[in-house]
Amino acid sequence: MTPEQIIDMALWFPEAEETEPFGPGVQVYKVRGKMFALLGEDREHGAAQVSLKCDPGLALELRAQFPAVRPGYHLAKKHWNSVRLDGSVPDDELAEMLRHSYELVVAGLRRADRDRLLAVLGDDLPPLP
């Protein structure tokens, strides 16, 4: 999956917005002011990477399953994974990781916001490229 496809998928979620609080070249995707995805570069491997919030148990499983999934770069390692966009993680798996991240962030919002956003979201996954 390309960075452009990640951007399209992230902005597909209800009320998602793109910001650059860390400067140019690092896009942050938020819902109601809370970050659910961060798109930047894995300088060690020369590839783009996306960092996504994740349930701690699932985070460990994904890291064991995919070499491109590592603890979150400059983030709370227990709750964030950074995924190198080198094609080794299937697109449908990345779409599920992105939705999981969004839902975790939405779960921490005020009840009215949470209920509204989850109702709009329904059971859909972002469209695959």
Tens-of-pLDDT digits for all 129 residues of the chain? 899 999 999 999 999 999 999 888 899 999 999 999 999 987 776 789 999 999 999 999 999 999 999 998 888 888 999 999 999 999 999 999 999 999 999 999 999 999 999 888 877 667 666
CA 92, 46, 23 angle in degrees (round to 5)? 90
Does the residue 129 lie in any domain?
Answer: no
For 32: left if phi > 0, alpha if psi spans -120 to 50, otherwise beta; the answer is left
What CATH number is associated with residue 95? 3.90.1150.30
Domain range for residue 43?
3-121
